[in-house]
Every structure is written in structure tokens, then in C-alpha cells.
Amino acid sequence: MEKNTINEKAEAFFQRATDWKDEYKALRKIILKNEALTEDYKWMHPCYTLNGKNVVLIHGFKDYCALLFHKGALLKDKDQKLIQQTKNVQAARQLRFTSLEAIEQEADMIEAYVNEAVEIEQSGKKVTMKKTKEYDMPDALQAALDEDPKLKAAFSELTPGRQRQYMYFIGQAKREATRQARVEKYKAQILAGKGMND
């Protein structure tokens, strides 16, 4: 695809948008000033890539729309605007907006963030990801794995991302009883070699 060619699926996304329609279009215009980026459509959202690598995605939520920088953790963020969605999100960071006026006022800043994200992708830098073993293993899950060799073997065969998903979801419950209930709920899923959302 030629650089900055309009992607038909992305165009359809912008056309059918009801919430944030003007904001999306303003963000798209700013992003496409960088001629190195190609407009694509991934995860049901406009995504801007460099040589097939994801750089920035436009998406919206109830209270805000945002640019999601796939390697946002590497951006300098001199304006202190980037948001880590949850503590377990390692690489991506968001720039959030609640109005078209805010986007127009901060257009130069947004463009600078986009340009820096492109430079990072061009440099080949990668975000150093935490290994699964660096995450806290919930006691309830560890006990279940120790008690059931089949469950332990099935868990060890899961991809690291799926393992982390279970560890995080079970471990974030405040009450021990809830953690135990979550382990029980997902035992069959783990034994089937599936992640939480498979």
C-alpha cells in the first residue's frame, strides 16, 4: 500500500462513528501528516503502521477518545500526558482527549508524540517486557497447581501471556475466598489448554 493511502475499512470506521466522530477525524489528520505512516485497520480500529509494525491506534471509550502508542513506554513524555491503562500494561500508553477543542489546541504536541513514536519504530528499539516469573503467583493458584499434577502440567503448557492473565485475574481479588472461587472456575479452561478469553 502506498504511504498515507486511505484505508477503506478505516474510512468506513470514521464514516459510521457516532461518538467522537469529529475528534477521530482531527486525530487522523494529525497522524497522516507523518508520511512514513500507513493507515491500516486492526482490532476494529484505525491503526497506523510503519513497515507493517504498529505505531499508533485511534480508539474511543465512553468518557474519552485516545491515541494508543504501541511502544508508548519508550516515549519521553515531556508533557507528562501519557497514561498507562493498568499497571500490567507494559508497552502501550494512551493520549486521552475529551473534546475536539482539546485536540485542536494540542495539535502540535500530538504531532510531536506521533513523530517521536515513528522515530522509535525506525530505530528498532523494543520495550523490555517483564517475564512471567517476575509476576506474583497467587497463593490460591499455586496451591491448586501443587495439588493437581495435571493442572500444573496444563498451566505450564500455556503461553506466558495466558499464564499472566490467570495470575493477574486471580491475584487481584481482595478476598481469599474470591481467589479460590476464581481458581475453581477456570480449572477446566486451564486443563483444556485455553486462556481466560478463549
pLDDT, tens digit, 9 for 90 and up, residues 35-47: 999 999 999 999 9
Q: Are residues 72 and 94 in the same domain?
A: yes
What pTM value is reported for the model?
A: 0.69
Among 189, 186, 193, 195, residue whose Cα is nearest residue 154: 193
| Band (101; pLDDT cuts 50, 70, 90) | very high
Region for residue 176 given its phi and psi (left: phi exceeds 0; alpha: psi -120 to 50; beta: otherwise): alpha
Residue 1 inside a domain? The answer is no
Q: What is the pLDDT of residue 133?
A: 65
Q: Are residues 156 and 73 in the same domain?
A: no
| Band (2; pLDDT cuts 50, 70, 90) | very low
Looking up cell 477518545, which residue turns up? Answer: 65
Domain count, the chain: 2
Phi and psi angles of residue 179, each rounded to the nearest 5 degrees, phi first: -60, -45
pLDDT, tens digit (0-9, with 9 covering 90-100), for 45-92 = 999 999 999 999 999 999 999 999 999 999 999 889 999 887 667 889
Q: Are residues 12 and 69 in the same domain?
A: yes
Report the share of the chain in percent with pLDDT over 70. Answer: 93
Q: Are residues 75 and 99 in the same domain?
A: yes
